[in-house]
Structure 1
Amino acid sequence: MSDRGQELIEQRQAKLNRLRAGACDPYPARYQRTHTTQEAAQALQALEEKGATTQEALEVSLAGRVTAMRLMGKRTFIDLRDGTGKIQADLRQDALGDESYQAFVDLVDIGDFIGVSGTLFRTRTGEITVQARQYAFLAKA
């Protein structure tokens, strides 16, 4: 194995050990998902078609693999992919809390499986997004 490959394995192993040391189970037995990514997108589209207002927020809990991460200071966007499609999640430091947000930034890698709970909305660019209130590790890659 190349030095770079071995280095990545060691970094991920160190993150896994930090998760376990922080009393977080990186491989929980259960996570209650309410929608697939496809079902969530269809539900938001149905709300929009009937003329729902922003007060009629759709609460969802999604689970999937992190396939992209974009860090922007106190806000991180991720692409969450499951067997039915992809959806963007918006994780903000003020919504998650300082400690929880920093743990996310420090410990989540592309390829990890996570669960995200929050409110669905559409961004200015039209991307369907979950405004995360909380997240959970489901499997560390």
Structure 2
Amino acid sequence: MTENNPFKDLSAVPARDPDDLQRAENLQKKEQSRTVADLGLATPEQLEQLPRIRDLTVHDLNDLAAEFSGIPTDNRRVAALSLDDLQDLEGVFFEFKRAVGSDLVSRRATVRSVDVSCCCCTPCCSCAAADMTPTAS
């Protein structure tokens, strides 16, 4: 009966190999340090015009999403972004999604086949919904 007990002592679970944990941690660090340029969302020519966007990392994008959710991150790169930068970032993701959608349409794929997701979708959607006119009252 104790074999099926879901509340058994967790220390009885075999320890994970420290090498496996280190590899997983290294992969996570590598993924978090990828930049918008590395993600291939826009052409190098387009990104050359957007250096502050081009050099944002996945970690920065996650921090941006957190900031839009009201969670302060103290990320200097995120704090330095202007409204124009946020619009440019949204534009980069929008163009990528449009290109994927166009490709699917040309192959006569259904709309349900569009599976474009990114960790920073929240800030981009928030940018699209925000009033970007500084003179509006």
Alignment TM-score > 0.5, same fold = no
- Using structure 2 for the length normalisation, give the TM-score: 0.22
Higher relative contact order (CA 8 A, sep 6+): 1
**Which entry has the higher C-alpha Rg, 1 or 2?**
2
